[in-house]
Structure 1
Amino acid sequence: MLNLTYPTKPIIYQRNNSGFALVKFSGLSDTAVTVKFSALENSGTDFSITLPVNNAEFKANVKVPQGLYQVVVTNKSESKKLEYLGVGEVIVWSGHSFADGYGIGSDTSPLAFFTENFWKRNDPDQYKKPEEVQRYLDNIRQETARGLPARVASQMAEKLMVPVLFYHCAWGGTRMMDWADAASGIKTGREYAGYKQGYEDLGYPYAILGEALKTFVQETGCRGVLIIHGDNDRDKQFTQNILLDGWKRLINKIRVDANFNLPVSLARSCIDPNFPEIIASTNQAIEQLPSMYYGPDLSQMGASYRISDGLHLNDLGEIKVAQDWTSMLISQNFFASNPKPTPTFTEITKIVQTTAAQIKDEANTSVAAIVIGLAFITILAISLIAKFRWFLALVFTLLVAGISYLIGFTNLFGIKKSGS
């Protein structure tokens, strides 16, 4: 009997600043369980663990180094496989159409993963029902339809050489102020792309971001939030102070729902020079709030980086933003900020965890012990025999041989050291 109750599907977890995550493994088995991690995409090192079983149940926090792995769980009679499990960077991604994926590029690294966009243009109602929420997490994949999310996640994965997961929480055609007011429970009557009667009562558009923070981020941990807003806030009723207040309300709600002071990076985005208050208020939010990081300034990107509508990014624009954003986050030590960690079991079961390097070291130690023991036996035997002390020769020879054999055999074939 073998039943793996967690994890049960491919998933990426947030690494800590020491380069690993504690990942919960649990299930039912009638014998001890072995979990083998096989590194994918040259992103990690193979290793295996043994999980003890108590009363037909196993439960442990497994220390998984950063990397992407195929995972096989076995006992004496059965096996279960996860196509992949990763430890790297988990990012919540939000904003207007640029973040929604409005674009033409789809450059995707094999280490870049995306959830299905929470808001679907053809069926935004599908996430109103609580039972539909799990589908969002079940649709982690190694591709995205188009646009900037694919570019940024791929650039991060390639630069950091770890798996990167984007929780896709964007809504094209929305204003930052729509998100801020919805986050504050303010019903304004303003409409936006895809708007339907009753959306304000449901907390849209912010609800898609809040749901990810309250549900999925609690399971996987998270490094921080990346947001692109500005172009749709071109309305003179939104003064610089009003926009700054909107940013503050939105970011505060993000951190409340995450139950953690998540780092936030804001891209500055407004192509229209008649609205300088948009860029100015975004800069103020970055400067005045804690744990904030600069994203690229898209207002400085001219027509050569835009498609024919003069607003949205073309291929060159997407690539530039992805490169600039990743480089800026690295230079600001965003990836060294404190992430929200993965949840763990309160009682840690001691497990056996062995890497390929440890196996090699132990084998070398074992062989050395056996060789030294045999050499000592030979010298001792010759010395004692030469003096005709047959009885002492026999006793000492058997004693040294037994000790050497026990050390070598234990290391080479049998008992491993416990650890986590």
Structure 2
Amino acid sequence: MALNTSPEAPLPVGEVSRLIGGWIDRLGAVWVEGQIIQLSPRPGAGMAFLTLRDPSRDVSISVTCFRDVFDRVKDVIGEGARVVVHAKPVWYGRGGTLSLRAADIRPVGIGELLARLEQLKKSLAAEGLFAADRKRPLPFLPQRIGMVTGRASDAERDVLHTAHERWPAVRFERRHTAVQGVRAVPQLIEAIKELDAHPEVDVIIVTRGGGSMEDLLPFSDERLVRAVADCRTPVVSAIGHEADAPLLDLVADLRSRTPTHAAKDTVPDVGEERERVRELRERAYRVINGFLDREAGRLAEVMSRPAMADPHALVADRAEEVESLLGRARRTLGHRLERAEDELTHTRARVVALSPAATLQRGYAVLRREDGTVIRAPEETAEGDKLRARVAEGEFGVTVGPHA
């Protein structure tokens, strides 16, 4: 709508800015594609600021978005990335500037691929497939190593050469598969399952050389990641170079930087182990010798004591003491026996003197009835009673006569 203005009746700047803002507000949201040439996330702020450029026309425009919109793609975009933005034009009247307010930002090309992988990574991590407590330790010396790789690949040669240099007797169970393209994922999964079921395979190495991100996509496939998570056998991932990071690295029990490092991480070095055994033997020798030296010193100290230097001297001293104690015991016992014998002789003489037999020897007699009752007085008898008289030399019967 045209405005009626003139040099005599101009519009104020603020009015013009207001009118422009009102016209722009009537515009709807649009999808815009461009390359990020400046990115200012401003940590802690509620807004993020970026500048999109059209390289073919050398035109740039400022874009703002709320923090939650930026956080959804912050891991997969950066300066130089191509993005598609769903935004609405916004006019800032005070500064007289036009910008786009983004409600959605989507990477394109590699960026879009990275965004999908990042989403899958977060989903699998939430399930716990990458948790550290699921990692299994590798065996010290594998009985047989399973290896999944491309046929006649540099990665295969690196693993075999390094492993046999470190431990010549090491054995491999190899499975050759496609390592890129549409056939790679099914073949990789089948090979891993075969080796996981093999009774002699103690560890599985999945390896290939470096390549573009598209070449390494099979090793970030969700089906392959889940197949490795279900393995009972420890799995080592050695995909590409150290900078490459497929999702297989996160689910594997060990991530090796390169195929050569996979061999080093899986197979011990025979020379290093021999040196370690030698050091342990020397340490054990020193410990045992130290123990024997200490015990020999203690034994020498004990043997130097008088009791051990001449043990018969102690026995001789004790023998004299025993002999002295034995003589004292004999003398004491003899004195006690002599005193007991004298006491016994005196007691016997008194007993003999006081016994009834001695009285009978002096001519006395003991009268008893037939029932054995002793007669102590004449009144206890009657004329004609039959009694027994006991004298020193025997007994005889008597008849009681008349009392005097």
TM over 0.5: no
TM-score normalised by structure 2 residue count: 0.27
TM-score normalised by structure 1 residue count: 0.27
Task: Tell which has more relative contact order, 1 or 2 (C-alpha 8 A, sep 6+).
Answer: 1
- Please say which structure displays the higher CA radius of gyration: 2
Whose helix proportion is higher, 1 or 2? 2
